[in-house]
């Protein structure tokens, strides 16, 4: 156990474990030190120089994010010397930053803008010539837009990408000419990017954003020839409120439905329904593989960032992927077949919008194998912007229910948004399918935000070995263990984003002060598990909506018709 040290931050005594940084100690003293390059769990390099402080025993100013505390140390965070240094750093950063604030996605939610206002920085003190800002915006990818001229070289996006074991972007050039780009200056779409969007939520400015389809959605809502339907992913209800100032982890399901309904003439469905449908198909597929000696272990396939990672980096693992589509694509297929046939709607006249926490879903719905059944995928951030554009007072909206026939779902569908949720939902149903007397619905061993979780369950005399990993670096560790024979599993859940969809690349961008002090993944996940606990249906197989869908259309899980609509295939990336 590390011994404790006592120091003073702005004359306030603080006791912290040895090895703690000044930045961490300051938070314990309720002192906020500004940062730009630092981001908890992502980046800590001390390059931006915004967190410089005075400390006894140090020569000159030191970077609080990397400098360790010492017994008896006295730290001053707000001296004139600190303030002047920070202001100079900001003015130098502003000299190479394209200042198009009014039209920027991050206006009023930009760390550089906020700090510049706080330190009264002169944005033109070291101004570049306007022609310096002429680098083309990278619009090559269907999910992320890169604007090099807004980049401040904080390296947080690079750290986030490397932490994912992807490495699609990095620092190129030296000195004054250093900049962030893909290898050989290739466009992002030609790189190894998997579209997870973790770079976007890490970026403190507007250099990275999602490729928006909001204008197309507005146009569809105004088109009298189109019937528009929205469906919302499980995690969105636990994060959308943050865009309107509500506490992290507030479940705003009812207000979310009310807000979407007021955007235009549309119906609002619950994607938890096809999360349940995914479980029915996936659990049946798993049982079939176990019984017939199929390719094992079986990996989930509901995360498109993870699927693309496999196709690009580990094509030899493709046979291990479940053939199930993701809940988004299952809903698209279900709407363009079952729903259209039942309601006499021509599929081409139905405009399908998914609201998702993920930028990779934008690419997924454009995959040829998916048949274009989801017309637009918008992120939580994009939905929030639409609500604000419509002038809706979100916190004043009533709580309204989803529209039938896709309103009722189980708690198993809801927890899809948290890491381990897909696994737990699948275990609830698969165990019941294998042993009709199996009544357990809570599997705490696969819950929580630990990078890798493992468990073994005895179901109907069969030992089912499972693993859950979130973050692609942890997925890489699982794959290496399976291939080397060191890890033995039957079923593995992988989510590309650390913590799962609650921490997806399309979720609201929060101030650094919140990201660095709160456990966002935990707070958001708790909202989903709380909803699951209150639900009268905990197991996907118990859903009356699922029973109706199979009774009226698919017949049974993994039937021929189910495979036509709800399953797909994956192929090795031929570019690599």
| DSSP character string of 270-325 | ETHHHHHHHHHHHHHHHHHHHHHT-SSSEEP---HHHHHHHHHH-GGGGGGB--BP
Mean pLDDT of 165-184: 93
What's the CATH class of domain 4-78? alpha beta
User: Encoding tokens for residue 212?
Assistant: 């928006």
- Tokens standing for 149? 């001229």
Q: Which two tokens stand for residue 543?
A: 């859903």
Is residue 392 within 8 Å of residue 244, measured between CB atoms? no
How many whole angstroms separate alpha carbon 245 and alpha carbon 393? 12
CATH 3.40.50.1780 positions along the chain are 215-566
pLDDT value, residue 574: 59
225-278 residue pLDDT tens: 999 999 999 999 999 999 999 999 999 999 999 999 999 999 999 999 999 999
CA distance to 103, 112, 216, 233, 487, per residue, from 148 (Å):
16, 15, 26, 31, 42
Q: State yes or no: pLDDT of 292 exceeds 80.
A: yes
Domain with CATH 3.30.70.20 in the chain: 98-204
CA distance 275 to 352: 17
Give the H/E segment covering residue 482: helix 472-484
Q: CB-based contacts of 367: which residues, under 8 Å, 6+ apart?
A: none
pLDDT at 130 over 70: no
Tokens standing for 58? Answer: 């140090």
Single pTM value for the model: 0.95
Contact 527, 238 (CB under 8 A): yes
The band of 1, judged by pLDDT with boundaries at 50, 70 and 90, is low
Q: Is the pLDDT of residue 68 over 80?
A: yes
* Of 458, 219, 501, residue with least CA distance to 356: 501
For residue 450, give Cα distances in angstroms to 198, 257, 466, 469, 493: 18, 32, 15, 8, 13
Q: How far apart are CA 524 and CA 397, in angstroms?
A: 21
Is residue 129 over pLDDT 80? Answer: no
Whether the link from the prior residue into 297 is cis, omega within 30° of 0, is: yes
Arithmetic mean of pLDDT over the chain? 96
Q: Does domain 215-566 have CATH number 3.40.50.1780?
A: yes
Sequential DSSP letters for 66-96: TPBP-TT-EEESS-HHHHHHHHHHHHHHHHT
> Residue 127 burial (CB < 10 Å; 0-12/13-18/19+)?
middle
What does each C-alpha distance from 118 to 115, 205, 279 come to in angstroms? 5, 16, 50
Compute the average pLDDT of residues 82-106: 95
CB atoms < 10 A from the CB of 541, how many?
20
Provide the CATH topology of domain 98-204. Answer: Alpha-Beta Plaits (3.30.70)
Alpha carbon of residue 515 to chain centroid = 14
DSSP letter at 487?
A: -
- Residue 134: what pLDDT? 85
Residue 443 has pLDDT above 60, yes or no: yes
State the catalytic residues.
Answer: 282, 285, 302, 322, 361, 364, 369, 501
Residue (of 478, 541, 540) closest to 320 by Cα position: 478
d(Cα 438, Cα 74) in Å, to the nearest integer?
60
In sequence order, the 6+-apart residues with CB closer than 8 A to the CB of 12 are 29, 31
Q: How confident is the model at residue 372 (pLDDT cuts 50, 70, 90)?
A: very high
**Contact between residue 38 and residue 23 where contact means Cβ atoms under 8 Å apart:** yes
């Amino acid at each position: 156990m590390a011994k404790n040290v006592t120091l003073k931050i702005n004359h306030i005594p603080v006791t912290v474990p040895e090895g703690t940084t000044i930045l961490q100690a300051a938070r314990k003293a309720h002192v906020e030190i500004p940062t730009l390059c630092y981001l908890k769990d992502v980046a800590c390099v001390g390059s931006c120089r915004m967190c410089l402080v005075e400390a006894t025993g140090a020569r000159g100013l030191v970077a609080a994010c990397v400098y360790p505390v010492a017994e008896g140390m006295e730290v001053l965070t707000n001296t004139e010397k600190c303030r002047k240094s920070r202001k100079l750093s900001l003015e130098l950063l502003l000299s190479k930053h394209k200042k198009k604030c009014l039209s920027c996605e991050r206006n009023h939610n930009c760390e550089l803008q906020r700090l510049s206002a706080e330190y009264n920085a002169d944005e033109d003190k070291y101004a570049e010539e306007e022609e310096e800002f002429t680098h083309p915006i990278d619009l090559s990818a269907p999910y992320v837009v890169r604007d090099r001229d807004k980049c401040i070289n904080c390296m947080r996006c690079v750290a986030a990408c490397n932490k994912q074991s992807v490495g699609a972007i990095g620092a190129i050039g030296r000195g004054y000419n250093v900049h962030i780009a893909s290898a050989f200056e290739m466009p992002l779409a030609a790189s190894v990017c998997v579209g997870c969007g973790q770079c976007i939520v890490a970026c403190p400015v507007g250099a990275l954003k999602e490729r928006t389809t909001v204008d197309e959605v507005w146009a569809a809502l105004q088109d009298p020839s189109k019937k528009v339907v929205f469906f919302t992913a499980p995690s969105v209800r636990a994060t959308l409120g943050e865009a309107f100032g509500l506490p992290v982890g507030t479940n705003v399901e009812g207000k979310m439905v009310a807000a979407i309904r007021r955007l235009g003439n549309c119906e609002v469905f619950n994607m938890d329904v096809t999360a349940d449908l995914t479980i029915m198909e996936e659990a049946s597929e798993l049982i079939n593989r176990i019984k017939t000696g199929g390719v094992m272990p079986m990996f989930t396939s509901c995360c498109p960032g993870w699927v693309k990672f496999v196709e690009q980096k580990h094509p030899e693992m493709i046979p291990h992927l479940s053939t199930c589509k993701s809940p988004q694509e299952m809903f698209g297929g279900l709407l363009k077949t079952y729903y259209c046939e039942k309601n006499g709607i021509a599929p081409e006249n139905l405009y399908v919008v998914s609201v998702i926490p993920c930028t990779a879903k934008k690419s997924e719905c454009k995959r040829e194998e998916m048949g274009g059944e989801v017309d637009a995928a918008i992120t939580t951030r994009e939905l929030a912007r639409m609500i604000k554009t419509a002038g809706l007072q979100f916190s004043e909206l009533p709580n309204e229910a989803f529209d039938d026939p896709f309103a009722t779902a189980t708690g198993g569908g809801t927890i899809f948004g948290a890491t381990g949720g897909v696994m737990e939902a699948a275990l609830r149903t698969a165990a019941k399918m294998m042993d009709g007397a199996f009544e357990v619905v809570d599997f705490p061993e696969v819950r929580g935000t630990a990078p890798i979780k493992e468990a073994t369950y005895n179901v109907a005399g069969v030992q089912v070995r499972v693993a859950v990993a979130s973050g692609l670096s942890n997925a890489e560790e699982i794959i290496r263990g399976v291939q080397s024979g060191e890890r033995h599993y039957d079923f593995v859940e992988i989510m590309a984003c650390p913590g799962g969809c609650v921490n997806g690349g399309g979720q609201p961008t929060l101030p650094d002060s919140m990201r660095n002090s709160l456990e966002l993944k935990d707070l958001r996940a708790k909202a989903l598990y709380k909803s699951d606990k209150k639900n009268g249906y905990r197991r996907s197989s118990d859903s009356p909506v699922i029973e109706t869908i199979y009774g009226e259309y698919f017949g049974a899980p993994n039937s021929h018709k189910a495979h036509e609509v709800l399953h797909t295939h994956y192929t090795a990336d031929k570019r690599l």
